[in-house]
């Protein structure tokens, strides 16, 4: 299991120093949409330079770590307790080894190391699959929760309406350009975890549920029409993507949770056999 701990530390290193290709592609596309010579185009240019520099130099994209969240798909033959201990140990090692990470600048003392949140799921696979998401405090603070005061009728018209209104009103708190994960259901704990898990999805994927795919597309387009600036700068792309999922929909408990990630969407996967 020592090799697994090394894998967890390496996963942290990869996640904090680079963004996934699909996110970088979305940023490049947004850069191309902005007017030549505009301040917003320069912002996107600076973001792309920061991404390149972090990858080449092995430096964290962002010093803010928040609380790391893991999703673990594990064979039934493995011990959940043992895997959890290794993840906690690997997290502590990663925070100590990676310079200028963990809400501190180079040379500063390390603050308290957060205990990671870990979701487990037993699978029929012979491999252990570990997904890691790192979301800073500003992104966590930008998250939203609300209830739809109408029964669920089989479509997401009211969700779309409520999200367009709520998100556009809080646009200055969104860490734009950003990605939104949306969980829809009838139990608050479930949808909070579900909305966060949507941030693991590739921005280039298509939702298997046609109505949810339509909701994602309409929200992305609608929000980019409504949110025409990230603090003080006019822009054409404040929202890089929207990903949505449902769980346990109920006619009389219709709840929505929104998780937010800034452009530095720090996620990655480890497959350990």
Per the structure, how many domains does the chain have?
A: 1
Assess contact for 181 and 196: CB atoms under 8 A.
Answer: yes
Q: Tell me what the mean pLDDT of segment 5-9 comes to.
A: 96
Distance, in Å, from the CA atom of 59 to the CA atom of 81, rounded to the nearest integer, reads: 32
Q: Tell me what the mean pLDDT of segment 47-56 comes to.
A: 95
Of 5-9, 175-179, 243-247, the one with minimum mean pLDDT is 175-179
Cross-strand pairs, 183: 245, 257
Looking at the domain assignment, is residue 193 inside a domain? yes
For residue 46, is it left (φ>0), alpha (ψ between -120 and 50) or beta?
Answer: alpha
- The answer on pLDDT for 263 being more than 60 is yes
Sign of CA dihedral 146, 265, 65, 103: negative
Looking at the domain assignment, is residue 52 inside a domain? no
> Higher model confidence: residue 32 or residue 101?
32
DSSP 122-135: EES-SSEEEEEEE-
- The answer on pLDDT for 45 being more than 80 is yes
Looking at the domain assignment, is residue 230 inside a domain? yes
**Omega before residue 92 within 30° of 0, cis:** no
Beta pairing class for 144-147 and 255-262: antiparallel
Domain residue limits at 155: 137-267
DSSP at 253: B
Looking at the domain assignment, is residue 190 inside a domain? yes
pLDDT at 68: 95
pLDDT tens, position by position, 83-129:
999 999 999 999 888 876 665 555 555 567 889 999 999 999 999 99
The alpha helices in the chain, defined as continuous H runs, are 2-17, 21-33, 39-57, 80-97, 137-141, 157-169, 188-197, 210-226
pLDDT tens, position by position, 11-27:
999 999 999 999 999 99
Assess contact for 76 and 122: CB atoms under 8 A.
Answer: yes
Q: Tell me what the mean pLDDT of segment 164-174 comes to.
A: 81
Looking at the domain assignment, is residue 128 inside a domain? no
**Omega before residue 223 within 30° of 0, cis:** no
Beta pairing class for 69-75 and 128-134: antiparallel
Mean pLDDT score of the chain: 90
pLDDT tens, position by position, 183-234:
999 999 999 999 999 999 999 999 999 999 999 999 999 999 887 766 556 7
Looking at the domain assignment, is residue 69 inside a domain? no
Confidence bin at 2 (pLDDT 50/70/90): low
Q: Tell me what the mean pLDDT of segment 247-260 comes to.
A: 90
Q: What is the pTM of this model?
A: 0.92
Looking at the domain assignment, is residue 34 inside a domain? no
Looking at the domain assignment, is residue 150 inside a domain? yes
Sign of CA dihedral 29, 49, 134, 4: positive
- The answer on pLDDT for 258 being more than 70 is yes
DSSP at 200: G
Q: How far is CA 157 from CA 65, 148, 161, 216, in A?
A: 35, 11, 6, 12
Phi, psi of 43 (to 5 degrees): -65, -45
């Amino acid at each position: 299991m020592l090799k697994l701990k090394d894998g967890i530390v390496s996963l942290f290193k990869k996640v904090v120093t680079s963004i996934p290709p699909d996110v970088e592609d979305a940023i490049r596309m947004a850069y191309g949409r902005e007017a030549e010579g505009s301040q917003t185009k320069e912002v996107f240019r600076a973001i792309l330079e920061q991404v390149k520099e972090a990858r080449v130099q092995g430096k964290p994209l962002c010093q803010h770590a928040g609380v790391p969240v893991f999703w673990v798909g594990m064979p039934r033959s493995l011990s959940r307790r043992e895997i959890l201990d290794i993840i906690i140990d690997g997290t502590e090692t990663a925070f100590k080894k990676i310079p200028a990470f963990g809400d501190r600048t180079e040379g500063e003392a390390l603050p308290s190391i957060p205990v990671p949140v870990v979701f487990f799921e037993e699978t029929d696979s012979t491999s252990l699959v570990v997904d890691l998401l790192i979301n800073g405090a500003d992104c966590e603070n930008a998250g939203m929760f609300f209830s739809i005061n109408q029964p669920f009728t089989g479509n997401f018209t009211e969700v779309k309406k409520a999200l367009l209104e709520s998100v556009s009103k809080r646009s200055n708190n969104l860490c734009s350009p950003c990605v939104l994960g949306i969980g829809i259901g009838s139990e608050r704990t479930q949808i909070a975890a579900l909305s966060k898990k949507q941030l693991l999805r590739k921005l280039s994927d298509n939702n298997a549920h046609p109505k949810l795919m339509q909701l994602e597309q309409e929200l992305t387009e609608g929000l980019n029409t409504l949110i025409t600036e990230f603090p003080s700068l006019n822009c054409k792309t404040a929202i890089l993507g929207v990903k949505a999922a449902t769980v346990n929909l109920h006619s009389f408990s219709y709840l929505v949770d929104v998780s937010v990630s800034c452009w530095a969407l720090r996620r990655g996967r480890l497959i350990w056999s």
